[in-house]
Amino acid sequence: MADSDPPDVFAVAELLCLVSSRLSLLTWTAADRRHGHRTALQRGWTEYFWSHQDLIVFSYEHRHPSYSPAAAAAAVAAARAKSQSKSQAKTKASSTSSKTFEDDAPEEYRSLYANALHTLHQYRDPSHPKWAHHFFSYDHLTLVHRDAILSVGGWDTHIPFYGTDCDMYTRLMWAGYAQNQSTTPGTRAGHILDVSTVLDDIGALFRIPGIKASFPGDPHPHARNQKAKPGSAAAATAKDTSKFTEAETYASLLSMGRRMQRAKYAHGNGARNSWQVKQQGGQGEPFYRDAEGFESGVEMWIEAGRAVFSAKWGHRGCDIARKWATGKKTGDGNGLKDGWRVERDWDAEKEGGGAPEKEE
């Protein structure tokens, strides 16, 4: 997107609209997932989206380098007029009939919100195999099929945090439900980045002139002044990345988001939840929690969930589906009906309980 293009706040606004729309966006913890499922039941939603809270997202503006809202509308109108030709309609029908789910890449600009709904419409096709989840960036953004979860007995409320998704995803797989991931440009909704810090000024995200994109602890604060590589997405979306006197460019914002994600994982995967201890302020308020104490409590809860999961399935780790390839439906071997009836496959006295120490 060029510096002269109008700020595109629609992608952000549309994503926020998911919060209040019938296809709701719900945030993630084990409790939030169960609450989201209960909300879907209460409100009659057959599908909904959930998301992690610690994300920054961007639509694929680089798919149409000359994008502007007016240009996007004109492109859609032209495509509709073109499709009125009977011969072209037949050609389109024959060419798309053999397309796989992964091949359906958009020719025109679509926001992250529109891409997510496009995926939902594909799953609503009556001919689509039964499904439970679609992971856009693993489970950072996930489309959920409510009735699939009901069919396997719902979330196991005894298991908090990480063990609960291992339990649910495995039971759904054993029951024959598809749980697909976005792995190609045609199925990804947008840039979904896992972060643990905040912008110095959110106005940069809305491209308010004069507000620059920055965040505390940026390991490479001068990266924004570097020229984009020829042929890269950054080069396609910014005519001149050396000019920062007006609103931020898409390329600069995306570069910043990626640096935020790298900063989160700078000390390895095990440190990605250390954001809890960084929380400041609130002392004296009724719901204040000591940051270090809160982090310790979360870690205890995580370990408790892993211990319950291990005791339920007799195995430490999320690879139980690969370990038990037979008897998954009938209960004639380790599988869907065998929770709490399986002997441990490790020596608890020598190796301890719960998850292996190195498991993330």
Ordered DSSP codes for 97-147: TT--GGG---SS---HHHHHHHHHHHHTSTTSPPEEEEESBTBSEEEEEHH
Q: Which of these, 152, 143, 180, lies nearest to 328 by C-alpha position?
A: 152
H/E element, 51:
strand 47-51
* The most confident of 89-93, 184-188, 290-294, by mean pLDDT: 290-294
- Kind of pairing between the strands at 55-58 and 141-145: unpaired
Token pair 């920054």: residue: 56
Q: What is the pLDDT of residues 275-300, one digit of tens each?
A: 677 777 888 899 888 988 988 888 89
Statement: residue 90 has pLDDT above 70? no
On the 0-12 / 13-18 / 19+ scale of CB atoms within 10 A, 29 is middle
Strands 47-51 and 141-145: antiparallel
Q: In terms of pLDDT, which residue wins out, 102 or 207? A: 207
Least confident range from 33-47, 226-240, 283-297: namely: 226-240
- What lies within 8 Å, CB to CB, of 154 at 6+ separation is 34, 37
CA distances from 344 to 334, 339, 351, 352 (A): 12, 12, 11, 11
- CA of 54: how far to CAs of 21, 58, 134, 188, in Å? 21, 14, 19, 19
Q: Give 345's pLDDT tier (boundaries 50, 70, 90).
A: confident
Q: Tell me: pLDDT of 307 over 60.
A: yes
**Whose CA is closest to 53, among 139, 112, 168, 178?**
139
The letter for the amino acid at 150 is: L
Could you tell me which residue, 9 or 130, shows the higher pLDDT? 130
pLDDT at residue 339, as a whole number: 87
What average pLDDT does the segment 177-182 reach?
A: 93
pLDDT of residue 184: 79
What's the whole-number mean pLDDT along residues 79-94?
56
User: Taking 70 as the threshold, does the pLDDT of residue 102 lie above it?
Assistant: no
Q: How confident is the model at residue 244 (pLDDT cuts 50, 70, 90)?
A: very low
**Angle, CA of 286, 289 and 293, to the nearest 5°:** 155
What distance in Å separates the CA atoms of residue 351 and residue 308, rounded to the nearest whole number? Answer: 16
- In this prediction, what percent of the chain has a pLDDT beyond 70? 64
Q: Which two tokens stand for residue 74?
A: 């004109």
Provide the token pair at 237: 């979306």
Percentage of the chain lying above the pLDDT 90 cut: 26
